[in-house]
Structures are given as structure tokens and as C-alpha cells.
Amino acid sequence: MDGAAADILHPFPCAPEPGAATEVAPGILWLRLPMPMALDHVNVYALDDGDGWTVVDTGLATGRTRAVWQAILDGPLGGRPVRRIVATHHHPDHIGLAGWFQAQGATLAATRTAWLFARMLQLDVQDRATPQHLAFWRDAGLPAALFAEKAAERPFNFADVVDPMPPGFLRLREGDRIRMGGRDWRVRTGDGHAPEHATFWAEGEGLILAGDQMLPGISANIGVYPTEPEADPLSEWLASIDRFAPLARPDQLVLPGHKLPYTGLPARLAAMAAEHRAALERLLAHLARPQVAHDCFVPLFGRAVSGAAYGLALAETVAHLNHLLAAGRVVRRRNAAGAWEWLAAGQTAAGGASGR
């Protein structure tokens, strides 16, 4: 075990079963909801407001998740209503059932970017890949058979697992104060995994509701998608770590969106930054010869990637390539198939002009 891992402690080593709850601090219940994928759960938190509850994040909009929620409402929440939903960010596992709760009378609080992204994506249903998706995959150098397969299949739509969201919410901003569970919490936003991702820091107490901004043991996906193919979210992620670092203490209890609550935030922030910087160096070494994004998985992930994980892996790969490009450490050129080929700056390759 390295030093950073040794500094991470898990005061609650066993996760609550679906429908059950673990009290992690007075008035704060940790709940776990199932997901039908490799990362098979999401953590949500219920904060006791006396006459009802504030719930931070919601899980996916699936029949199974609704059934687990009903067991939670009838059991650990004691039949008292959920009066407010607080979304840390716009991803489906965190905001999928916000509309379901709103239909039962709850209000929704989120950052403006999170709400706009979630509502826009929930309304945007496609039965085939868009021209922007096709261009993104062509740029990434997908093999012809894989390109044809993805072009013909129905893509994932937010509406598959996110309930309709009515046009109204309470905006959260950097530096705001929000009262939940008998405590005042300071809103601090981060970027990279999701734009304007909200985290909540209890004033006068060592508690942080962290969403996916500070996960233990696993790396949050830092991805580039067809909506913004030239983005550099990794710069935003590293800048967020730098902003959070002066506020971090070893004794703070971090309540994350996945895995187990933990202490040791300074070590975890340092490890997250180090992991990405090491990945960038491995990728740069791989680019001693021209490569398309599709052929860059091994240096980043230690293996080839296919199947359900392919989309996230490609998004993260392009994010690392774009970061190197923005830093002037790589150049790129179009190959004969129209894909971007990436090459470490200072290397030479026959033919073609490099450029952005």
C-alpha cells in the first residue's frame, strides 16, 4: 500500500443494503441505490429537516430504483415527505428521479449549469447517432466495423433513465450557504467531471457532501463528448483540485457519490492529481509514433477496452489528448481516413501538416 492509500480511512466499512440506511452523522442518513452497470450503485444522502427530508442526489429513473426508494420512504425516512432534492450534478445517476420527487411536491436545488444540462438532455431523444456523434467517432479513428455498428444502433438517451423535469428550480452558486439537516453548508463548485458540480461543506463541522468530485479508490470519468469535441475538462479538473486543496483536512468525513465514506481528503486530492499526471506521461510516451484516439487505451487504462465501457474510455482518452494539445505537448494531423493522428511535439512523421 502506498502512502496516499494508507492515509485514506473508511469509518463505515459496510454499505447499507438497498432500502436500509446508515447514520453517518446526527441527522444524516447514507443510502445506496442499485445501478445496472459495472459501477453497480450510487450513494445518496437524506438530511433530517424536522418536518421532512432533504435528499442529496436521487439515483436512476428505473422501476427497481423507485421500489428501493419506496422502501426507504416507508422505512428509514419514517413516512415523512421528501421536501427538497439537491442535485450535485447533471449525470443521470444523480438527477434521474428529481422529476419523480418534484411530481410529489419536492423542490429541486441545483447549479444553473447542472439543471440546464439535465433538462436539455432529458428532452433530446435520438433514435440514431447524430452527425456530431459520427464526426466524433471518425475523428477518433474507430475501425470501420465498429463505426458502422455504432452508427446503426440506437444511442443512449438521458430520457431512458431520467424522468421529465418541470421548468423550475432553485439555483445554487459558488459560495452560497444552504441549510440542510440542521446545519449550514457552504456550496463549492468544481469542474471536469461535470460542469459546475456542487459540493457542500458543513460550516464548523468536518463533513463534506462530495458527489463525484472526490471519489475514493476510483477515478471519476473526465471525458470529452461530441457536444464539445475541443473541450479540455482535465485542465478544469486539475484546477478544481487546486482550489479544494487549501480547504481539505485529514479529519473531514467525505460523503461521496460512489464507494465508501472516507477521511484523508488531502491525500486523496493529491492522489487524484498524480494519477492523471502519470497517465498523461504514459500517453505522451505512446505518442512517440502517430496514434489515433482509438489506439490509445492501453497506456491510459492498461488494457484494450470494448463493449459497454468503450464510450466512457474514448471520452476520457480524448480528454487527455486535448489536454496535451492545449499544453503544446502534442500536435495532430488528419490521416487519409479523416481521423486525427496525435504525435508528441518534437517528433517527426512523414507527410501531412500538424495543427489544431
Tens of each residue's pLDDT in the chain, 356 residues: 344 566 999 999 999 999 999 999 999 999 999 999 999 999 999 999 999 999 999 999 999 999 999 999 999 999 999 999 999 999 999 999 999 999 999 999 999 999 999 999 999 999 999 999 999 999 999 999 999 999 999 999 999 999 999 999 999 999 999 999 999 999 999 999 999 999 999 999 999 999 999 999 999 999 999 999 999 999 999 999 999 999 999 999 999 999 999 999 999 999 999 999 999 999 999 999 999 999 999 999 999 999 989 999 999 999 999 999 999 999 999 999 999 999 999 887 654 434 44
Residue 41 has, within 13 A of its CA and on its CB side, a CA count of 17
Cell 495543427 belongs to which residue? Answer: 355
- Give the rounded distance of the alpha carbon of 235 from its chain centre: 15
232's grid cell: 479540455
CB 13 within 8 A of CB 260: yes
Non-local (6+) Cβ contacts of 346 within 8 A are none
DSSP, collapsed to helix, strand or coil, labels residue 42 as strand
Question: What's the pTM value of the predicted model, to 2 decimals?
Answer: 0.94
Spell out the CATH class of 3-129+156-276: alpha beta
Residue 9 per-residue DSSP state: B
In sequence order, what E strands does 154-245 have? 170-172, 177-180, 183-190, 197-202, 207-211
Taking Cα atoms as reference points, which of 246, 234, 263 lies closest to residue 13? Answer: 263
DSSP, collapsed to helix, strand or coil, labels residue 233 as helix
40-78 residue pLDDT tens: 999 999 999 999 999 999 999 999 999 999 999 999 999
Residue 321 per-residue DSSP state: H
Distance CA 49, CA 179 (A): 9
What is the bridge-based pairing of β-strands 107-111 and 82-86?
parallel
